[in-house]
Every structure is written in structure tokens, then in C-alpha cells.
Amino acid sequence: MTKSQASALPDPGSARAPDPAEKYDVAILGGTLAGGLLGAVLSKQGVRVLLVPAAHDRTEASGETTVPYTAEVFLLLAKRFGIPEIAAFGLFPDLPEDIRRDSGIKKSLGFLYHRTGEEQRPDESVQFNVPGEHAEWHLERRGVDMYTVRLAHRYGAAVLPHGVHMTDAWTDPDGARVETSDGHIWRARYLVDVSGPDSPLLARNGGDDAEPRLGLRSRVIATHMTGVARFEEVRSPSEYPRTTPWSQGTVHHIFDGGWIQLVRFDNHRDGGNPATGVTLSLDPGRWEHLPEDPEKAFRAVVEQYPDLARQFASAQSVRPWTNAPLWQRTAARSHGERWFALERTAARNDMFLSRDVTMAAELVHALATALVPAVRRDDFSPAPFARIAAFQDELAAFNDRWLAGARIASQDFRLWNAFSRVWLLWQILADLSLKRARLDVEASAGRDWTPVERFELGGIWFHVPEGLRGIIDRSLRTIERVGAGELTAAPAADGIFAELRREKFIPPLYAFGDPEAKVYHFTIPKRLKMLWWVKTSAPADFRRLLTRDNVTSVTSATSR
């Protein structure tokens, strides 16, 4: 950690030792990324927080990647709640040295389409290179999650000692109770549960839905491996003109009915972690005859694709396998009198396209907007929390629709090619739009944060250029028609590309409507063309996204 980062940390004297005699304002159940971030945010706002680890905090498979939009949500948390360390979650070079050493960098998102028994066809690949002003990364979640808990402690949260975890939790007329493995019972005025599917609080309040309220169904197999070859060692980079090294980013191997996501942690000069995060997600119906054993099932899949077989020929798992025949789940209830089930406790879906980490940050922000005022007023009336619960459901549904669309699109590269352009368009404009909203609030006299609290809008909870919501909905409906057998992949893809070419709000230099433009670099000439388009042709609400302050890169200084 640099001297400037160390000086930004709060004085350790602000940390509290857990006291069984104290009645805390909020007890957070689970020492995960979301739990640690929420604990830091609440503590900085003067809330008396007790953070109670859960038994499975470090064992449940979790998302390990970010995109530029994720970084902007982290920056919103940092700026709004006055915690500069959270800004570093979107600025890899600013992270503590131990976190950087164990985690990886992310310079691109790569999609490589595979056909059974064939080598990967280079013309069936897509690579989106992250613009240079961003510093996305691969999170080694055990270390990262523990760091957020330490951060919460430094800001004043009481954290139970290592080895002590929650065994039960409930509410009563006097508030809330948490029982821990050392025999203590702790009191709080409100409970936030991020402990995951094994939550005793959730079990007391209806448990999980018998059938998840999500469209996607996945068998998920995940682990960390060493010995995974870089794809540029499997296939010559000369076969993929204009691409950057695949291993410098997140690699997604796409095939009919599934995908494998590869997250390298050793892909930068200071990296000291030889492992690669490997997550296989499969359509249970399409792949129903695989062995139950996760490693045998994994090998049975990769052996069907020659390049994958070569990439994993020397790979060995270094962590226990996650093996979930049905990964998706939703809680029957997500909130009640003095309790709220957040993030992984409320729902679980595929950890694809960086949505797991992104949604954790989005939901921490949303809940904090209701919880901080409730504590200050000593009023835990259900209405504000019902609004956040409804937003959480809408965000999960929005995410699920993207993931289900991705699964359908995996059946044909042409459809995947089209799907990925709409997804990237959403990500770019969401990043720019949220940054514009945040900067406007920061520049205003009263700092009214309402523009970033439009939770009634659902999955996109702030103003975006007119036309974006419509093209997302129409594109996903087209893909859903393919899934329903009403349309075949080729005309569906053609229709999506045609609309991407036709829409006036989409900058033409993105070339999203060109199926052959499969490698994306935001070069200086493209930036100059973008400025010309903004000055001459761009719709008014798009022009506001491309002002100097909104496209200037975030640095250590500007994030504080």
C-alpha cells in the first residue's frame, strides 16, 4: 500500500471491539464483499454496526470480474458516502499491494465460440478491449472480501473474531438477535443478511422458493486451477488480427448450451497468484448426461472441443469444486419487520458478464439510501425497505433476462455476435450515464442524490439516452423468440444488427451494426471522430455524456 493510501485509512482507534452488552443499530450477517462494503458505508455514516461472519463466507463461488460500469458504481459509493478506499475497487493500481498481488488485471473481454470436434474458428471470436483510462480487474474473492471486512472495521464496525460465526438469527418485538458459535447472543435494532442460501434467518422466514423466480437454469461447476495454458499459447495470435493477448482479460469460451469463464490472476508483472478462476455454466437439459462428479463432468465437456482440451491438458484444481446441479435460487421473502435479505441471500444467478460483483455494489448503494435515514430517525417502518426489495427483485429480473438471452444466443455464433454488441452498448452508456448523474449531483448546491435513486426504473436506475431501454428490450425479445422456436438465429441476428445500424443515438464509429467488426479498440482516431459526431450529429442527451469531465479518466486524486 502506498503512503497516500495508508494515510487515507481511518485511524484504527475508530474500530470497535464487539460487546455483547451493546445493542447495535445494524447487525450484518455475512463477511462477504457486500457485507464488508455495507459495513464500511454504514459505519462512516455513524451507524453502530456489528459484522457477524457466516460459515460459508469464503467457500461459496462468487463473481471475480468487473467492467467499467462496475467501477463507476464503486466510485458512486466512495463519493456519496465518503470512503475513498472504495474508489480503488475501480482503480486496480490504487488497491493495497496484497490485493493486487493475488488478483489479476482485465484489459479485455474475449468471446471465443466453439463447435463440437472442431478447432476454434478465428472468425467466430469477439474481443472488446477496455479503454486505457479504465483499470478493470479480476478479484481474488477470498482476499478481497476479507479486505472489505477489515475496511468496515477500520471505519468503526465491530467485527467478531476469526473462527466465530453466526449460528442463528431472528427478530422479536424488542429488535433482533444473532446467536454465534461461541455461545453469545448479540442484539441489534435491524438485521441485514448477506450470508447466502444457508441463512438461518431465511429459514425462519419461508426459506427458498420451490421454483426459482428466474428464467435461466444452470448447472454450475467452478474451481481455481493452476496449469491453465494461455489461449495465445494454444492458438497463434497471428490467427486473430488486431487482438490483444487473450490472457490479459476475461476469456469466455462459448458453445451451444453453455460457457466457460476464465479469470487469470497471474497476468500482470506484480502478480503472485498462479491460479485461474474457472467457472463452467451449462444448460441442465442440453447437458443432462454428464457425470455427477464435477471434475469428470468438466473434463467431459472440454474434451469435446479440441482447443479447450489443449488449454486444460495440464490444469489441476487447487480448490474444492463447486458443483451445483441447479445454481439459481430465490428467497420466498426478502424483507420483513426489522430484517432485510440482501444480494446472495435474496437470489443467486450465473456469475457471468461481471454481474455478480456489479450487483453487489448496486444493492449496497440502494439499501444504504434507506437504512441510514431509518437509523437516524429511529424509524424502521417497512415502506422504504419494501421499495428497495422491489428494486432488488427488478434488478435480479433484469440481470436474469440478459443471462437467459446469453444462453439462447450461445446456440449460434451469429446470434452471439449480435447479443454481445447490445450488451456492450448497454455497458458503455450505463457507465457514462451514471458518471454524468454523479458529477451533476456533486456540482449541485444541495447535493441532492435523487438522480441516482430512481429505483422505480428497475435495472437501469438513472437517466440514460433515449432509445437505449427500447433497443435492449427489442433485442432481448428477438432472442427470446429464438428460444421459443418462433424465429431462427440467422434472421434474428440480422434484425438486431439492422437496428443497431438504424438507431440515431448509437455512435456510428462504434460499428456495433457491422457483424464483421469483431475487435473493438477505442483508439485516438476513433476518439476524434467521436468528438466530431458529438458536435455535429449526436442527440442532445448523448452530448451531455461526452463532455470533457465525463470522459476524463478517474485518478487517485479525482476519486477522493
Q: What's the Rg (C-alpha) of the chain? A: 23
Intra-chain end-to-end CA distance of the chain, in Å? 16
Q: Are strands 335-336 and 276-282 parallel, antiparallel or unpaired?
A: unpaired
Q: How would you write the pLDDT of the chain (560 residues) with one tens digit per residue?
A: 343 343 344 554 566 789 999 999 999 999 999 999 999 999 999 999 999 999 998 888 999 999 999 999 999 999 999 999 999 999 999 999 999 999 999 999 999 999 999 999 999 999 999 887 678 999 999 999 999 999 999 999 999 999 999 999 999 998 999 999 999 999 999 999 999 999 999 999 999 999 999 999 999 999 999 999 999 999 999 999 999 999 999 999 999 999 999 999 999 999 999 999 999 999 999 999 999 999 999 999 999 999 999 999 999 999 999 999 999 999 999 999 999 999 999 999 999 999 999 999 999 999 999 999 999 999 999 999 999 999 999 999 999 999 999 999 999 999 999 999 999 999 999 999 999 999 999 999 989 999 999 999 999 999 999 999 999 999 999 999 999 999 999 999 999 999 999 998 888 878 899 999 999 987 777 777 777 787 788 888 878 887 767 666 555 455 55
Confidence (pLDDT) at 473? 98
Domains of the chain: 3-101+139-212+332-381 (3.50.50.60), 107-138+218-324 (3.30.9.100), 412-454+461-551 (no CATH)
What's the rounded Cα separation, in Å, for the pair 191 and 178?
Answer: 9
SS3 80: helix
Report the predicted TM-score, pTM, of the whole model to 2 decimal places.
Answer: 0.95
| CA 483 vs CA 168, 479, 489, 505: distances in Å | 42, 6, 9, 28
Confidence (pLDDT) at 5? 41
- CA nearest to 452, candidates 378, 335, 371, 362: 362
The answer to whether 330 touches 165, Cβ cutoff 8 Å, is no
**If you search the block for the grid coordinates 488486431, which residue do you land on?**
242
Confidence (pLDDT) at 405? 99
The DSSP code for 120 is P
Confidence (pLDDT) at 496? 99
